[in-house]
Amino acid sequence: MRQQAKGQIHERITAIPNAWYPIYLVRGEKRNLVIDAGVNLLGPRYYEVIRETLGDDQPLHYLFLTHSHYDHIGSAGYLKERFSGLKIGAHERLASLMQKPTVLDMMNRLSGNHVELHKYNPDAEDLTLCPFDIDIPLKQEGRFDLGGLTCCVYETPGHTKDSLSFYFPEIQALFPGESAGVLQGTTGSEIQVEFLSSYQDYIDSLKQMIALRPAILCLGHGWVLDGKDAEVFLQRSLAETYRYRELIETYLMSAGGDAQRATEEMAYTEYDVKGGIFQEKISYVTNLSAQVRHIAGLNGP
């Protein structure tokens, strides 16, 4: 089955909308964890729904981040200020990126594009992304006991070098961030392939996730899949990644190996003409350019 990423997904999992930028609350018997921090402009909304779902007397113990993109860490600082004792966990690479003013400037610029989300900040709070500390560096084989649920950390690079996925074996629920791709199109039927840092790492990460055989798949954007749909999605995502690489190679070939021209032609055909991709065009082209350059061998391994 497939459902939008909002509301109760499982007795222990709540997806907190906006469905396109969801964050996931996982409640154990002893500890509570939020996965990802979405975009900055939704900070007040995320906070309100987490509070409502937990009740006034329940603390939020952990916030774990899947990767260092602005639409996955946007409200981390905001939530940390509001939940006392909240510990933020992420890959250690993310911690060093957070210290770079140029990275934060870019993230604030990208966040600022989401004018449609200003309505979720009715008190016009200052939601500028500021550096925040990583309290818990997360690594492969990290284990966190929430009480009846264990959060198992998997390093799943390929989308970014710092991509992590979180798996809860007791309920077979996997939170891959964007390590497994994104469902796109108006019906959510097309898979957008998301390797940015490394094609080969992305393939290896997908295989690692397929081997887990998750029964619930809470994607980084838009959708939650379960049962057969979860399994089929991961297999399709792998097949789509192979196909996408071939597509990029075709555009590169017709552009005579010129990565810039191949990117422009591919963006025109795939984004402008075919359409159905929700991502901002500027983000789409930035990502596509990285993918084309990577396949052209211009970005290192």
The residue ranges that bind Fe ion (CB under 5 A) are 69, 178
Q: Shortest gap between Cβ of 208 and Fe ion (angstroms)? A: 18
Residue nearer to Fe ion on the CB measure, 69 or 91: 69
Q: What angle do CA 192, 195, 199 make, to 5 degrees?
A: 130
Find the shortest distance in angstroms from Cβ 159 to Fe ion. Answer: 6
Tracing tokens 């350019």 back to the chain, one arrives at: 289
Handedness of CA 258, 261, 267, 269 (dihedral sign): negative
- CB closer to Fe ion, 28 vs 222: 222
C-alpha distance from residue 272 to each of 47, 202, 265, 268, 291 (Å) = 36, 26, 10, 5, 18
Instruction: Give the shortest CB-287-to-Fe ion separation in angstroms.
Output: 8
Minimum CB–partner distance for residue 106 and Fe ion (Å): 13
Q: Which is nearer to Fe ion, 178 or 226 (CB)?
A: 178
| Helix axes of 259-266 and 228-254: crossing angle, nearest 10 degrees | 130
Distance of alpha carbon 217 from alpha carbon 280, whole angstroms: 24
- Please say which residue, 168 or 195, places its beta carbon nearer to Fe ion: 195
Q: Nearest residue by C-beta to Fe ion? A: 69
CB of 145 to Fe ion, least distance (A): 28
Q: Which is nearer to Fe ion, 28 or 177 (CB)?
A: 177
Task: Provide the minimum distance between the beta carbon of 259 and Fe ion in the complex, in angstroms, as a whole number.
Answer: 21
* Preceding peptide of 18 cis, ω within 30°: yes
For Fe ion, the closer CB: 95 or 149: 95
